[in-house]
Structure 1
């Protein structure tokens, strides 16, 4: 006897043998038991979910010699003929090969004849969406009012292509895809009866590869039995399908969690040996992260659809929830950008390195719970736990800081120093708190994550602050080449107390404490273009002046810049900064300069993106421009004098006003308004590029 493939051998012959589709079977069984039979049924669903099988079982239920029943006997001649595919009153039509209207008319000509053997004549039209529009039109009338002994059963994988007139004449049942759990359960039963040795991991691979189709699962199982010489083993199935070893996905995640770039690239190298689809590998990583997030929210809700529930739970304990969400979002963006990469592997590596480089700052250096992979010895875990974590130094931010003496730094070519006008210091109403570096032994929430109350610090007396400032060596001032607008006869600046660097300044002076170090600026400094630097601010200003939102109480305009603030307006466009750092610097103003110590005020309204990294970049830009090491302090205090951003906004407003006045004063425009009632819309007037450049 010839071998019969599993998909045909194990095709269900009754509703009891069906796997899944209970929502469809319940309706059909109730209709058959109560004799409430419709004349046309439409089954929709993907390939291999049971559309044709259910249609044949319905034909047996209608024509079984025991009567119309939901449980055909399977022993009578009618049932056997239907199972063998030779029942004369079951007419199966492949619509994909008979699409012409002539074929449909030939079919309809035979509808008028009564069944030869059975109780009903059943027309099973498979892939009905392939019929032409003329064929559908020819079928409409007969489908709506067929003879009482005729039943139509239509099957399709694409119901959207069916005309609404066909859908309205049928009872429609949508068959669902099979879950991997249900497929594995059925394969376990089949292989057990067939006496075929197998591994559970191999069945899970087949269940996922079937993609919801039970017929595909049975066909793949036949192929796996042939490939594995009568056995279904995970290694053979993985080689047959060309799928990725799921353990390698966890190797990538373990290296990512530990922050080990070397291990991460080594895991990618092992992946590359299999020549995988890198987009598919990234999808597998996202699937694991999704299940890890579920495990963190609801551990008992994690499914075992991949046979790796224990690994997912271990990752959920070792990985912070915010890291899971961050990695998942980065992976989604990486999948979108992966087709744009010149090399798929390079694009995949960049996605992982981006995840590694931009981890949340508060967890990048925090001690983590050691990850215990499945099967690792307890001694290894204990030895890893014995490593003591280094204490984390977290500076405390204060409103003002105490003066500090700058360390002498030898510069190759010191640039001229800013010359400040004489400033009469105002009496200090209250002493300023001191910044202290507090050493803690555990992870401390960063100030931009959770609001915390400032730690109590000791406030020195005003006299001690002034004495400390007076003890600092006074450096000879060096004139900075400035435009004529700067006060020419500015005397030497009286040394005012410069507060101690704030949290960002401390971080800038101590790179080892920075949470997200970035490479220094390029040493080959090129003098930036002042117009291009201010054009960026003009664009920002145009966004604010194009459609100003109504303010209940408009803030008073800042005073025109003078002294150091005016010199900062001239210096700002010469600095090699842009982007976020440039935006922050544009909203600062220079308050005091004492040798190599600079103090700036930043508008708190623009401090949402301000952090130690941005201050370090600005400090590096100043160091590069002046060719010496400066110590920059930035306090979140609203500047009293005009900032570069405010100056750009003011120039933009002036140019806009001049443009509107020019338009309204044009004789031709006035003539148009007088003769034709034209109206000038000020919101459509924009200064020309020439005026922008002149500003």
Structure 2
């Protein structure tokens, strides 16, 4: 007789347990466990695009459960496990994983090796997890070690009266090359943002700056990035970067053409176009095409500096 596992192996479909293992590894921020799951899957010649589709479906259900557990389909497979994961995972992380998964599913066919592409997508999910100070319970546990390392230095200095002043000391390290006169793209890089807060900043433009009042315009195509928590985090990071108190206001408008994200995409497109032109005009490539009837796929060409 033929078992379900045999059928799955022949068809390259994914066992449900592997998707759950990936979700648990993401919840634990365990990169080793993630790679171990991919290693197991690689023995079955899996459909990695199908795996991403199942992962995205489960992330959607987890996001729904974090809003209302009753809204999760009662008949969905592994419902109790997804509800458990909804309690363990930070909502902002879930949204980030979903977005990275969507982009990864689109780009997976461009990867020279499907398994390697899948590993990079999963590792990217962990690499871009937010590590803001107000999330120490979920994603910033390792950061708690840093204050312990700086305490002895403070004690050796024997200058407790100076300790209140360094409260703004971190400012120069992140703002050494930026100031209020810097363009918004430079400010975004100077703030060294991560995760969804960086995505929010990358899709904004600086509309107005009047003293402590700063107004940004968010590209309407990315309005889902805006919420009170991220706006406050961005305001705090900008104030820290510039070493001053300020109030940040963000308005949503139609498609913006000059956000850092769009600027970066234009640069990528220009470099890609230049690379395509260099390859297609190369005499050796032309000779190869003529001799063997070869076809050049532009989407597979990458600039050397990308």
TM value normalised by structure 1: 0.24
Kindly name which structure, 1 or 2, has the bigger radius of gyration based on alpha carbons.
1
TM value normalised by structure 2: 0.50
